[in-house]
Amino acid sequence: MKIASSALPVTIISGYLGAGKTTLVNHLLRHADGRKLMVLVNDFGDLAIDADLIQSDDGDIVTLSNGCVCCSLGSDLFEAFLTVLDRTPKPDHLIIEASGIARPQNIANIARAEPDLHLDGIVTLVDAELIEANLANPQIASALMEQISSADMLLINKSDLVTEQRLQALRHILAEICPGTPALGCKHGAAALDAVLGAYSGAKYDIQATDSADHSEHYVRWSCEATGSFDLDKLKKGLAALPPGVLRFKGIIRPGDGGEPVAIHRVGHRVSLDRMYGPAPPVSHMVAIGLEGQMDPAIVEKTVLRAKQ
């Protein structure tokens, strides 16, 4: 697929009723870290934006004090996307908060059809306390299984309300439904922004472990700039072979064929390559984020360098 170099990344937040999607979205808005986020929701009443974030409410659009915007999704997703893409200034990232019974793949397919959008990933929340009971309920199980199996990343929310033994059992259950997909524990929807929305290519990260009381998991970040060109097939295969602890990888790459630049993404176990409009950058830029003890930055770097031409 060929996408615009300015294609807007889209993250779909999925999860059954009560899993914590609203809490997660509020957390992302509070920790936007300078990014202009735009959130599409089915109904503002479902989202319940924290009052102290709201700067103005114009009915269909709520403007937030941190530069972020929330919009009502309405009945036509294509119309909503056009509204987003026509907005000035353009947001840095679009978040779609799906309803508790929505099929996230249907939303993802519509996003994939728009060349000015890039699907960054589907993030599905599960309720650590209720997931087993919900999966055993025949009226709920089908929708829940589809939400889980569609995910590029799973967030086990309310992980502080269950024992460590039960949390590990939940990870095994989720791994059976969605093999190879990382499942991160979080409390009160407080997941690391870069894990949920992808490592921010505009930031300069050192290789370091993070330790925050807000998150159940600790993270490692890696970034580099590389001259020369890359064998895209070798790079894609190398990234796909990295362990699940490598949660995110993003880059703008100079291809070896001398053609247009390529955007490369790894979200969970999914790796994608997309040709971009415009001239290739003078250097390739890459950034990754993973779980401490499960992502070795040196191995990520070796994988990248092996694909250099």
- Give the distance, in angstroms, between the CA of residue 133 and the centroid of all CA atoms in the same chain: 27
pLDDT(202) > 60: no
State residue 204's pLDDT score.
35
For range 85-107, the mean pLDDT: 87
State residue 205's pLDDT score.
35
* For the ranges 18-32, 76-90, 213-227, the one whose mean pLDDT is highest: 18-32
pLDDT(45) > 70: no
* For the ranges 2-6, 73-77, 138-142, the one whose mean pLDDT is highest: 138-142
Element (H, E) at 288: strand 284-291
What domains appear along the chain, each with residue ranges and CATH number? 2-197 (3.40.50.300), 208-306 (3.30.1220.10)
Quickly tell me which residue has 């996230």 as its tokens.
104
For range 228-253, the mean pLDDT: 90
Strand order in the sheet with 8-15: 54-57, 61-64, 69-72, 37-41, 93-97, 8-15, 117-127, 153-157, 183-186
**Phi and psi of 215, rounded to 5°?**
-120, 145
For range 228-257, the mean pLDDT: 88
Task: Give the strand pairing for 54-57 and 61-64.
Answer: antiparallel
Residue 209 pLDDT level (bands cut at 50, 70, 90): very low
Return the amino acid letter for 86.
D
Please enumerate in sequence order all residues whose Cβ is within 8 A of that of 42, keeping only pairs 6 or more positions apart, or say none. Answer: 72, 73, 97, 98, 99, 102
Contact 248, 184 (CB under 8 A): no
State residue 19's pLDDT score.
92
* pLDDT digit string, tens, across residues 121-167: 999 999 999 999 999 999 989 999 999 999 999 999 999 999 999 99
Q: Which two tokens stand for residue 101?
A: 């019974």
Please state, as a whole number, how many other Cβ atoms lie within 10 Å of the Cβ of residue 175.
15
User: What is the C-alpha separation between 263 and 109, in angstroms, rounded?
Assistant: 19
Contact 84, 40 (CB under 8 A): yes
* pLDDT digit string, tens, across residues 175-193: 999 998 999 999 989 988 8
Task: Give the strand pairing for 246-253 and 284-291.
Answer: antiparallel
Contact 31, 189 (CB under 8 A): no
- Bridge partners (DSSP) of residue 57 are 62
- Buried-exposed string 236-246: b where 16+ CB fall within 10 A, e elsewhere: bebbeebebbb
For range 285-295, the mean pLDDT: 89
DSSP string across 165-182:
HHHHHHHHHHHHHSTT--
